[in-house]
With several copies, the nearest count.
Chain A
Amino acid sequence: MKKFVNDPADVLAEALIGIQAIHPELRIDTENRVILRAEPTRPGKVALVSGGGSGHEPMHGGFVGRGMLDAAAAGEVFTSPTPDQVLAATQAADSGAGVLHIVKNYTGDVLNFEMAAELAEAEGVRVASVVVADDVAVQDSTYTAGRRGVGTTVVLEKIVGALAEEGADLDAVAVLARRVADSGRSMGVALTSCTVPAAGRPTFELPEDEMEVGVGIHGEPGRSRVPLASAREVARMLVDPIVHDFGDPVGPAIVLLSGLGATPLIEQYLLYGEIAPLLADAGVDVQRVLVGDYITSLDMAGASLTVVKADDEMLRLWDAPVVTPGLRWGA
């Protein structure tokens, strides 16, 4: 395992030390492994709290800051945070105006945030939750755990963060959050497996001439394994299922192409060059686009495409200032 680590058991704790050294504008609660804005939440402002397993950097800690999250609970690598952690994040972030939990739809995340919300409400904190379940690689069904949450999370945190910054109340914030969550679809592909530090070996074996289509961001194997394809073909494998899942013409949209950790920017640029015309052909009117590492899967080579249908309000909030380690503009 070739990684910059010391003892694999210490990866999260030590990464947090680094984040604190790099970002004085953030505050780390080391005991609870919570990343907060250095400044406490403005009285009256609804707080946005997210979190999840680590290994997806910059998500979530890298999206804490003005215009986006108020706090993020960092679980162990690929392991959702515990209720205690989420509770600590929730209590620290609450200004009295209530807290929105932004949860990616994984059983662990849902259960731990659920317990945390119960505990927080018992302590008198108003909590609303939104669950992001945007991964079209997973067949949706009420009998299963449903779809995974991927890139729409980032878009949601940005847009809803801007609304909270404007002073909207918890109900309004939660309504918009659910609207954004419902408007997003994602699809990913892996060229290599990631290696969980504590496991010490790749989560799956992928021969030199194969790739995983529909892979999860925790190295969960995808829905199918296909021969290694050109960027042009990969673009189609990402765009088609998303467009198909939307059904209706998409219209104005915010698009995110995220590298999965080990895919360099030049490949992401090239891949997006193939994706853009396919989106246009399919009636996706790309209004805003981000390409880079935003939601990763440790050292996995691959990419994940997210398309979020966006109305004027969402675009306006997208353009509002944001000052976080992972997203920054307007200030």
Chain B
Amino acid sequence: MTGAVSTADLVTWIRAFRDAVQQHKEELTALDSAIGDADHGSNLARGMDAVVAKLDTVPASPAELFKTVGMTLVSSVGGASGPLYGTLFLRMGPALATEGTVDAAALGAALRAGVEGVVARGKAEPGDKTMIDALLPALNAWDAAGDDLAAAARAAADAAAAGRDATEPLVARKGRASYLGDRSAGHVDPGAASSTLLIEALAATVAA
């Protein structure tokens, strides 16, 4: 699994993300307690459980898979993260071929379409202290890493983690944390933390 992934591999990624969310559920909720409303962990866990429940049979193509993931997240998560994560996947699907495997460039393009969708929906800019602050650096690192899928994913995951950590000192300008004004500084953004889990799960999957 160096150059390309099959739909089944992508399902493995999605399952790994669900496991990571479950494992870090309390941590995500604790982050959301500090600057939000204490539900980000349970929101995403509920959504990813719903997603995995739909993946007993592997979808026909990556496009199909991402459509299922996106629709399920939209219809089961709610909150801010539901439409945003939902949009991420809903936009990834159409960017991919409906058959065969997916290489680094294709997956990078799909991710870009997804993240652009998130920006279009949520109107967040870099530095607003949102999931964008993990996703955008990840994307840029991916593109810079070149053709090797595992290397691209690894670079993206590291960049996401760095982006996540960099949200800590920021004053939030979007989402619920923005109500806190200056008091939002000093806490990592929960959505940036969960997005990092997503990219990290991808890196782990393609490295396996």
Contact = CB atoms under 8 A, between A and B. Distances in A.
B178 A145 contact: yes
Contacts of B35: 220-221
B80 interface: yes
A77 B38 CA distance: 10
A230 interface: no
Contacts of A108: 78-83, 176
A145 B123 CA distance: 9
B59 interface: no
Contacts of B175: 107, 145
Interface stretch (A41-49, A151-159, A198-206, A240-248): A198-206
A85 B83 CA distance: 13
> For chain B, which range describes its interface: under 10, 10 to 19, 20 to 34, or 35 or more residues?
20 to 34
B74 interface: yes
A79 B181 contact: no
B165 interface: no
A95 B20 CA distance: 45
A148 B83 CA distance: 19
A215 B176 CA distance: 12
B1 to A, nearest CB: 34
Interface stretch (B39-47, B91-99, B104-112): B39-47
B69 interface: no
Contacts of A220: 35-37, 176, 179-180
Nearest to B180: A221
Residues of B contacting A: mostly: helix
A262 interface: no
Nearest to A199: B38
B174 A78 contact: no
A18 B179 CA distance: 31
A173 B178 CA distance: 31
B33 interface: yes
Given A107-B80, A111-B121, A216-B179, A82 B37 contact: no
Residues of A contacting B: mostly: loop
B37 A218 contact: yes
Given A76-B46, A199-B33, A203-B38, A82 B82 contact: yes
B74 A115 contact: yes
A130 interface: no
B173 A144 contact: yes
Given A76-B43, A81-B78, A196-B39, A111 B122 contact: yes
Interface string A92-115: 000000000000001110011011
Interface in A121-149: 135, 137-139, 143-145, 148
Contact of A223 (B75, B80, B83, B181): B181
A304 to B, nearest CB: 14
* Best-buried of B36, B42, B176, B179 by chain A (most CB within 10 Å): B179
Contacts of A219: 33, 37-38
B150 to A, nearest CB: 34
The 6 closest A-B CB pairs, nearest first, are A218-B37, A108-B79, A111-B83, A108-B80, A107-B80, A198-B42
8 contacts: A78-B38, A82-B75, A84-B74, A108-B82, A139-B181, A199-B39, A218-B37, A223-B180
Given A106-B80, A106-B176, A112-B83, 17 more contacts: A53-B78, A76-B39, A78-B39, A83-B74, A83-B75, A83-B83, A84-B75, A85-B78, A114-B83, A135-B179, A144-B173, A196-B37, A198-B39, A198-B42, A199-B38, A220-B179, A221-B34
